[in-house]
Amino acid sequence: MIAKDHQPLSIVDNEGFRALMKLVVPLYKIPSRKTITTRLDDKYHIMQYKIKAILSNIKNLSLTSDIWTDPYNTKGFLGITIHYIDCKNFTLESIDLGMQELENRHEAVYISQVFKNICEEWNIQNTSVCAIITDNAANMKKAVYDTFGSNKHVPCFARSLNLMIQDAISSTQELKPIIQKVKRIVTFFKCSVNATHALKKLQRQEGKTEDKILKLKQECKTRWNSTFLMISRFLQLANHVSAVLINNSILGSADSPEMISRAELKAIEDACELLSPIELVTVEISREKYVTCSKIIPIVNCSMVTIDRLIPKTEVSASLKQNILNQIKQRFYSEKSNIEKNSFLAISTLLDPRYKKMHFHSITAVSYAQTKVNKLMKEMFESENENSYSESNIESNIKKHNVWNIHDELVTSRSENLDEFGENGGLSAEFRQYLISPVADRRKCPLKTWQRLRALHPHLYEIALKYLVIVGTSVPCERLFSKAGNIITEKRNRLKGKQASKIIFLSSLNKEYW
């Protein structure tokens, strides 16, 4: 309970818990808090030993890292998660290694030393780290370069997506004041008990039960999709919100905000249609138990085409559409920051049997990726590796605004244009055969597909697993900090960072480890 449910150590002293245990197991002697702490430490050391033994045999793994500040003690922590393929169960495993309290300034040299200490503690070799995913902060990038090498840093795609949409919304001058109006209305309802009660009452009159009653959602500046969720929920409750505000106006409430007009309501409704595809891919790319790195190039391509095909009904949404398309081109296809030139993204996409070359715009980028894979294959002819990996992946099948419809169209047309980037001369027969073979169903797990393809493409199989193990975002580390926020609370603000780190590690382990 303490590790998995984030219950405080003091639970053993709570009157309600002791009464429950006395009723359920009267003869059981509840251990003291000190005993529980000792047992927790013992369990941590046993589990750490097990995981260290596993990691020592892992050939390819990826890491995510970020920095979090404890709001109660204003202490900085560096969190780190590890991702690898379990060759026994054929699953992509994700473990929170915990968080290290930062005692000095968050400079690159110091963070690099912390990275080295964590890797040494967990027996993680630099050669086994394929990539480390962080934000684009200068100190984090420099620390990764100094610790793991300049060719192992992958920027978090979710953050780029977040900034892209935020900038697109900010650039749409006509939309900003409407969103601000919605935000003021939501704030009013969040601060007014009477308004919230009236909103619930109107929903009850519709026949909704208490568990079905909806609440307005507030925007969070650090998450663009919170804006989408705010206006989406506002549209669901717009009629009821309008009725409550009109009633407040009649009663002469001075602080009651003005309801948005019908034209403004239509504008944000149209804006939701444009933002919906991005919301779906944001959720999809934030997974940690499935392959995500190879999805980034296809997602960007499919998102751009999907949004381009949408027909806005208002001038506001037409401006938003153009700004989104401009942001996609600027952030992902410009000369300065072209995702297809990122070797991790390009190679992982090329070696994902579901995508291969279909979603690339640049002939040069594909050629470079093919050359690099071909070079890696030549190096592998001398060192055969018999390890077997796999993954389990269940993708959500969402029909509305599904950006993957573009991928399905490309699969259909691919048979007519297999060699769209020119001759494959110079490539090994194994690689060439892989490229010209039909693409796999996008709903299938790429690692399970590679498990079947291993006999046909043994060398390519090893390279594919090295790149498909990389996660596309640092979201797993952000989830680690969410756990930390549930552990270090106002009631437990004196809990030491080292103890909190142990609980986070234990909570991330699957049941079979326990």
Tokens representing 182 are 């919605």
**C-alpha of 102 from chain center:** 24
* Angle formed at CA 49 by CA 48 and CA 52, multiple of 5 degrees: 80
Q: How far is residue 363 from each of residues 2, 226, 408, 416, measured CA to CA in Å?
A: 54, 37, 21, 18
d(CA 114, CA 216): 42
Instruction: Give the tokens for residue 436.
Output: 């010209």
Q: Which helix (H) or strand (E) holds 92?
A: strand 91-102
Question: Measuring CA to CA, which residue among 354, 329, 308 is closest to residue 464?
Answer: 354
Q: Distance (Å, rounded) from C-alpha 40 to C-alpha 336?
A: 50
Task: List, run by run, the mean pLDDT of 10-residue segments along the chain (514 residues).
Answer: 78 86 88 85 90 89 92 88 82 89 92 94 91 92 92 91 90 92 92 91 90 90 83 93 83 74 92 91 86 93 93 92 94 89 93 93 90 85 45 44 78 55 62 91 89 89 92 91 83 80 87 76
SS (H, E, C) 220-270: ECCEHHHHHHHHHHHHHCHHHHHHHHHHHHHCCCCCCCCCCCHHHHHHHHH
Contact in structure between 366 and 360 (CB atoms under 8 Å)? yes
C-alpha 212/C-alpha 179 separation (Å) is 26
Q: Partners of 63 in the beta sheet?
A: 82, 132
Per domain, the residue ranges of the chain are 41-155+476-513, 161-289+298-331, 340-387+419-469
- Structural tokens at position 318: 């037409």
DSSP class of residue 439 equals P
Query: Do the Cβ atoms of 153 and 134 come closer than 8 Å?
Result: yes
Which two three-digit tokens encode residue 252? Answer: 């002469």
SS (H, E, C) 158-214: HHHHHHHHHHHHHHCCCCHHHHHHHHHHHHHHHHCHHHHHHHHHHHHHCCCCHHHCC
Give residue 80's identity as a one-letter amino acid code: I
CATH architecture, domain 41-155+476-513: 2-Layer Sandwich (3.30)
Short-list 273, 238, 288, CA closest to 469: 288
What is the rounded CA–CA span in Å between residue 262 and residue 109? 56
Give CA 297 to chain center in angstroms: 15
**CB-based contacts of 14-18 (< 8 A; 24+ apart in sequence):** none
pLDDT for the residue 390: 38
The predicted structure's pLDDT at residue 253: 62
> What are the structure tokens assigned to 193, written together?
């008990």
Nearest to 297 by CA among 402, 134, 407: 407
CB distance 348 to 467 below 8 Å: yes
Hunting for tokens 């390819």 — which residue is that?
60
Structure-token pair, residue 202: 């109107």
